[in-house]
């Protein structure tokens, strides 16, 4: 133990001699780890939120395809689907998108059928009749609207349509409702000028979750022009959207990893003349090769462990305490309405250990290996600069 | 041993910070599960929501779960991706786990 502490003390003094260089390495190394870890934490958290909340999503969404594109589906298909064994409630629904030219934002407008039960995530009350609407925080902020105000939108016929804002979704549901406007189904049908008897899609409830694929298959056989999207597929989408193959991970993760590789490569390709001379002197005064390797191992550990701990802490603070301000512009793209990220601190320890393994080990190896090469060379020739 | 003490104190400080952050993670998660998860699930169940309201720039980025596989290329075959969000969403892989090959039986094989 004393030997280890003495070697560590010597390693620290050796690092202190090249203060500026080593502090720069720690800063770059920590920044690289912080950016890699920020992406891992952000994507993992979003994935967990999506998968946990969507567990109660619709069992099957039936869409109709015409010429390979999503098209309106006859609402009468619902009656035939309802007759399938194991199927519960079948609800044709109307929903769509609305571009607000004034604020240059896109809204999602959803029609609700009947009086919905009061929801905890709604301030005020839900839409109960025509001429009323419930809006998301993003919509309210853009329109500078509050509960009780009138919301003016232009309908499909180019005529202004006003509705009274009776409720507003709370900020805690922003990830789901930021751009959402709820109308009554009939109101929305008139707003979009949807022909009678047509719906955007059909929601199917299946009593036994194990029967969902079978019911989806039966719907496909019954109506070959439809595409039933099962709950499992919806969950699978979010698992893939935020997995390591996603573009976000590939672009930022890969570039950070390349930057780190350059740093490690620079270390591995050789050590400075000064460092070589130091190794030669240590050998000449009686240090063993193992002592020199222990010294270099300590130097590498001091830098990599400090950077790793600093990088992970910074990433956590960046993502979960500050709301990932540096990653939001990347994630946001061209979305005008983007919810304020209030991420749930889900941390996957497996990812953190993998990141540690991928960054600490290569750096230590790149520190120890060139030193080992110098340590086994004759000290005299090293000191002479050979 | 001054340097060693200073270094070990720094490492201890970082480890304590990480321990505090992991406590924050644990309690933050528990609080979300207790206060918001059920309410959000109820919201999703009642409104039949299928997607996160993250990317509002295009149909297929607002509802990736309901979009067609070829959605970005609907305007022109093999066209470039229009929207930045489209390039950060990973493609959804087809969920095929088994394949079936159909071959012609060799001539003279028993039926």
- Using CB atoms within 10 Å of the CB of residue A104, give its burial: 0 to 12 exposed, 13 to 18 middle, 19+ buried: exposed
Measure in Å the smallest separation between the Cα of A234 and chain B Cα atoms.
5
Strand pairing class (A180-184; A105-112): parallel
Overall average pLDDT of the B47-66 stretch? 85
The H or E element containing residue A199 is strand A198-199
Lowest mean pLDDT among A214-218, A268-272, B1-5, B13-17: A268-272
Q: What is the pLDDT of residue A96?
A: 92
B87: nearest CA in chain A?
A247
pLDDT band for B1, please (50, 70, 90 cuts).
confident
pLDDT value at A357 more than 90? no
Which chain A residues are within 8 Å of B48, Cβ to Cβ?
Answer: 57-58, 61, 91, 93, 203
| Sequence-distant (≥ 6) Cβ neighbours of residue B81 within 8 angstroms | B72, B87
Mutate to test the interface with B, among A56, A233, A348 (most CBs of B within 10 A): A56
Length of chain A: 386
pLDDT tens-digit series, residues A288-319: 888 888 888 888 888 889 999 999 999 999 99
Q: What is the mean pLDDT of residues A63-89?
A: 89
Categorize the per-residue pLDDT at B78 as very low, low, confident or very high, splitting at 50, 70 and 90. low
Q: How far apart are the first and last CA of chain A?
A: 35
Mean pLDDT of B68-97: 60
Best mutation target among B65, B69, B76, B80 (most A Cβ atoms within 10 Å) is B65
Confidence of residue B95 (pLDDT cuts 50, 70, 90): low
- What pLDDT is recorded for position B76? 56
The tokens for A111 are 């029609």
Position A370 scores a pLDDT of 77
CB contact under 8 A, A68 and B68: yes
Inter-chain contact A333–B25, Cβ cutoff 8 Å? no
Nearest residue of chain B to residue A9 (CA atoms): B4
Query: What is the arithmetic mean of pLDDT over A176-183?
Result: 91
Tokens at residue B93, please? 């892989």
Mean of the per-residue pLDDT values of chain A: 85
Distance from CA of A280 to the nearest CA of B (A): 24
The answer to whether A368 and A296 are in contact (CB under 8 A) is: yes
B-chain residues near A233 (CB < 8 A): 65, 92, 95
The alpha-carbon gap from B77 to the nearest alpha carbon of chain A, in Å, equals: 13
Contacts of B11 in chain A (CB under 8 A): 305-306, 309
Cα three-residue angle A137-A142-A145, rounded to 5 degrees = 70
In this predicted structure, what is the pLDDT of residue A90? Answer: 92
User: Contacts of residue A347 in chain B, CB cutoff 8 Å?
Assistant: 22, 25
Residue B79's pLDDT band, with cuts at 50, 70 and 90, is low
Out of A117-121, A214-218, A316-320, pick the least confident. Answer: A117-121
Length of chain B: 111
DSSP letter for A340, please: P
Find residues 39-58 of chain B whose CB sits inside 8 Å of chain A.
39-57
CB nearest to A53's CB, from B37, B59, B87: B37
Whether residue A125 is predicted with pLDDT greater than 90 in this model: the reply is no
Q: What does the block give as tokens for A95?
A: 């929903």
Q: Which residues of A touch B64 (CB under 8 A)?
A: 237, 241
Q: Which of A8, A237, A241 sits opposite B4 (nearest CB)?
A: A8
State residue A204's pLDDT score: 94
Residues of B in contact with A337 (CB under 8 A): 53, 56
What would the mean pLDDT of A8-25 be, rounded to a whole number? 85
**Interior CA angle at A344 toward A342 and A350, to 5°?**
140
Nearest Cα of chain B lies from the Cα of A205 at a distance, in angstroms, of 10
pLDDT at B72 over 60: no
Chain B residues closer than 8 Å to A175 by CB: 52-54
Closest alpha carbon within chain B to A4: B4
Which residues, 6 or more positions from B79, have their beta carbon under 8 angstroms from its beta carbon? B72, B73
Compute the distance between CA of residue A210 and CA of residue A207 in angstroms, rounded to an integer. Answer: 9
Looking at the partner chain, which of A49, A117, A338 has a beta carbon nearest the beta carbon of B46?
A117
CB A212 within 8 A of CB A60: yes
> Model confidence at A358, in pLDDT bands (50, 70, 90)?
confident
Are B88 and A119 in contact (CB < 8 Å)? Answer: no
Average pLDDT of the residues in A322-338: 83
What confidence score (pLDDT) does residue A319 get? Answer: 92
pLDDT, position A124: 87
CA distance B107 to chain A (A): 35
| Mutation target vs B (from A57, A206, A238, A339; most B CBs, 10 A cutoff) | A57
pLDDT at residue B82 above 70? no
| B73 contacts chain A (CB < 8 A) | no
Q: Which of B15, B29, B44 sits opposite A53 (nearest CB)?
A: B44
Give the gap in angstroms from C-alpha A153 to the nearest C-alpha of chain B. 18
Provide, rounded to the nearest whole percent, the portion of chain A with pLDDT above 70: 95
Q: Which residues of A fall within a CB distance of 8 Å from B25?
A: 316, 320, 345-347
A30 touches A307 (CB < 8 A):
yes
Tracing tokens 């409720």 back to the chain, one arrives at: A167
Mean pLDDT, residues A57-71: 88
> How much is the pLDDT for A66?
86
Measure the CA–CA gap between A130 and A209, rounded to whole angstroms: 35
Highest mean pLDDT among A10-14, A197-201, A332-336: A197-201
ipTM of the prediction greater than 0.90, yes or no? no
Q: What is the pLDDT of residue A61?
A: 92
In chain B, what percentage of residues exceed pLDDT 90? 32
3-class state of residue A241 by DSSP: helix
Confidence category of residue A244, pLDDT binned at 50, 70, 90: low
């Amino acid at each position: 133990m004393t030997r280890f502490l003495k070697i560590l003390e010597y390693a620290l003094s050796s690092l202190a001699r090249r203060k500026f260089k080593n502090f720069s390495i720690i800063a770059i190394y920590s920044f690289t780890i912080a950016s890699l870890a920020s992406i891992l934490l952000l994507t993992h958290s979003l994935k967990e939120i999506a998968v946990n909340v969507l567990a109660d999503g619709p069992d099957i969404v039936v869409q109709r395809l015409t010429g390979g594109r999503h098209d309106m589906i006859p609402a009468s298909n619902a009656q035939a689907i309802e007759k399938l064994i194991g199927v519960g409630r079948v609800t044709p629904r109307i929903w769509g998108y609305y571009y607000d030219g004034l604020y240059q934002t896109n809204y999602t407008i959803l029609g609700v059928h009947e009086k919905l039960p009061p929801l905890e995530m709604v301030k005020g009350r839900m839409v109960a009749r025509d001429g009323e609407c419930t809006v998301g925080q993003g919509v309210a902020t853009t329109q500078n609207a509050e509960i009780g105000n009138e919301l003016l939108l232009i309908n499909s016929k180019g005529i202004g349509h006003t509705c009274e804002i009776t409720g507003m979704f709370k900020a805690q549901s922003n990830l789901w409702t930021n751009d959402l406007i709820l109308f009554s189904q009939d109101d929305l049908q008139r707003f979009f000028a949807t022909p009678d008897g047509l719906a955007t899609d059909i929601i199917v409830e299946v009593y036994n979750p194990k029967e969902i694929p079978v019911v989806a298959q039966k719907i496909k056989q019954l109506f070959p022009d439809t595409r039933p999207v099962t709950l499992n597929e919806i969950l699978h989408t979010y698992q893939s959207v935020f997995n390591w193959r996603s573009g976000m991970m590939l672009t930022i993760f890969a570039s950070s990893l390349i930057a780190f590789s350059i740093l490690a490569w620079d270390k591995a390709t050789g050590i400075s003349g000064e460092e070589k001379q130091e190794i030669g002197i240590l050998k000449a005064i009686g240090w063993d090769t193992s002592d020199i390797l222990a010294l270099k191992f300590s130097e590498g550990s001091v830098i990599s462990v400090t950077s790793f701990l600093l990088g992970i802490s910074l990433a956590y603070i960046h993502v979960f305490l500050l709301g990932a301000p540096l990653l939001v512009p990347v994630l946001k793209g061209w979305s005008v309405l983007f919810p304020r990220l209030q991420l749930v601190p889900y941390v996957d320890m497996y990812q953190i250990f993998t990141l540690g393994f991928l960054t600490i080990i290569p750096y230590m190896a790149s520190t120890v290996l060139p030193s080992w090469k110098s340590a086994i060379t004759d000290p005299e020739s090293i000191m002479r600069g050979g | 041993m001054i340097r060693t003490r200073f270094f070990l104190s720094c490492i201890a400080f970082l480890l304590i910070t990480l321990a505090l952050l992991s406590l924050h993670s644990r309690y933050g998660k528990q609080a979300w599960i207790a206060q918001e998860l059920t309410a959000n699930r109820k919201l999703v169940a009642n409104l039949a929501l299928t997607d996160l309201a993250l990317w509002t720039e295009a149909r297929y980025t607002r509802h990736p779960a309901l979009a067609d596989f070829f959605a970005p290329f609907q305007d022109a075959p093999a066209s470039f991706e229009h929207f930045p969000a489209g390039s950060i969403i990973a493609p959804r892989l087809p969920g095929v786990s088994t394949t079936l090959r159909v071959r012609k039986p060799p001539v003279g094989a028993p039926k």
